[in-house]
């Protein structure tokens, strides 16, 4: 069991040379950091939405890599490896990391169609940073990775089908960042709609290995308002992914009688 949090990504990137190099570049690149900053200017500052900046990108990156490991241990192969897009699983993990971290940069332009705009922005960024991550002699591989990452970013849109397991992982990981801290700033500015109130009711999200289904997502909430996030954000993203049949959602109330709610199996 692991808790979805900003620290989760470290356990995955520190033990992998390729991911470590990518993480160093992602978190130090001026353009990427300013795009994430502007994403929050638009999403949080102007629209009073939840966090879409560097912290959210970090949380989704860790969640994505954790989900990757859980489903891979269950024998589910990454699409990019199975279809010979990349030569090894390290590159499949790289696709998940790059797409997870960059998936919301389109918010720096506008909230509407931000997934498409984010994919287009990412293409140019990937052309610039991939040679420093995988090597300057790997041009063909870089082009293929670019396509997979752009596709995964575009697939984070709610009603867009994720065509690969990597894109599916990023899409679902995005929805696992739903704990209360993500909504505190909009709420403090006076936003009291169901989105903010629902997020504030969620205490934590945990990822676990399952038996009947490989991936279990447990959502701990203080009250039933948290079910809005589960039913309107997490479940739809899961249903538009290849992970749906491998995943079980377990909502849990931690106040009152502390009972478990009915599991959801898409």
Tell me if 265 is assigned to some domain. Answer: no
Backbone φ and ψ of 77, nearest 5°:
-85, 145
Q: Structurally, how many domains does the chain consist of?
A: 2
- In this prediction, residue 49 carries a pLDDT of 86
Tell me if 263 is assigned to some domain. Answer: no
- In this prediction, residue 123 carries a pLDDT of 98
pLDDT tens, 128-137?
A: 999 999 999 9
The CATH number given to whatever domain includes residue 194 is 3.30.1340
DSSP run (H or E) holding 43: none
- In this prediction, residue 180 carries a pLDDT of 72
- Which of 120, 150, 173 is the last residue before a domain boundary? 173
- In this prediction, residue 73 carries a pLDDT of 97
Q: Are residues 105 and 140 in the same domain?
A: yes
Q: Are residues 112 and 229 in the same domain?
A: no
- Angstrom distance (rounded) from CA 156 to CA 182: 18
Q: pLDDT at residue 190 above 70?
A: no
Q: pLDDT at residue 261 above 90?
A: no
DSSP run (H or E) holding 36: helix 30-40
Q: Are residues 156 and 65 in the same domain?
A: yes
Q: Indicate the average pLDDT of the chain.
A: 93
Domain of 188?
Answer: 180-253
- Angstrom distance (rounded) from CA 98 to CA 101: 5
Q: Are residues 154 and 68 in the same domain?
A: yes
pLDDT average, residue stretch 17-27: 98
- Which of 111, 143, 173 is the last residue before a domain boundary? 173
pLDDT average, residue stretch 218-226: 91
pLDDT average, residue stretch 63-85: 98
Tell me if 130 is assigned to some domain. Answer: yes
Tell me if 90 is assigned to some domain. Answer: yes
Tell me if 262 is assigned to some domain. Answer: no
Six token digits for residue 11 = 């356990």
Tell me the pLDDT band of 187, cut-offs 50, 70 and 90.
very low
Tell me the pLDDT band of 4, cut-offs 50, 70 and 90.
very high
Q: Are residues 154 and 185 in the same domain?
A: no
Tell me if 93 is assigned to some domain. Answer: yes
Tokens 């499949």 correspond to what residue?
92
Q: Indicate left, alpha or beta for 256 from its phi (over 0: left) and psi (-120 to 50: alpha).
A: left
Q: How many CA atoms lie within 13 A of 135 on its CB side?
A: 7
Instruction: Please state the separation of Cα 204 from the chain's center in Å.
Output: 15
Six token digits for residue 209 = 């290995």
Contact 67, 100 (CB under 8 A): no
């Amino acid at each position: 069991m692991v808790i979805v949090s900003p620290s989760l990504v470290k356990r995955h990137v520190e033990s992998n040379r390729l991911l470590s190099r990518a993480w160093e570049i992602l978190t130090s690149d001026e353009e990427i950091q300013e795009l994430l900053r502007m994403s929050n200017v638009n999403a949080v500052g102007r629209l009073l939405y939840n966090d879409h900046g560097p912290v959210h990108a970090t949380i989704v990156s860790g969640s994505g890599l954790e989900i990757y490991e859980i489903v891979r241990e269950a024998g589910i192969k990454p699409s990019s490896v199975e279809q010979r897009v990349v030569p090894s699983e390290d590159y499949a993990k790289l696709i998940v990391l790059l797409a997870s971290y960059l998936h919301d940069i389109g918010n720096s332009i506008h909230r509407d169609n931000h997934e498409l705009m984010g994919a287009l922005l990412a293409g140019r960024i990937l052309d610039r940073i991939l040679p420093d991550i995988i090597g300057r002699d790997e041009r063909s591989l870089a082009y293929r990775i670019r396509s997979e990452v752009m596709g995964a970013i575009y697939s984070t849109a709610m009603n867009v089908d994720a065509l690969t397991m990597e894109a599916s992982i990023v899409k679902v990981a995005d929805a696992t960042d739903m704990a209360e801290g993500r909504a505190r700033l909009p709420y403090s500015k006076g936003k009291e709609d169901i989105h903010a109130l629902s997020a504030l009711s969620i205490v934590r999200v945990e990822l676990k290995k399952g038996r009947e289904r490989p991936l279990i997502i447990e959502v701990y909430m203080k009250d039933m308002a948290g079910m809005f996030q589960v039913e309107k954000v997490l479940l739809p993203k899961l249903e538009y992914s290849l992970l749906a049949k491998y995943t079980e959602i377990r909502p849990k109330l931690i106040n009152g009688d502390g009972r478990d709610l009915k599991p959801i199996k898409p």
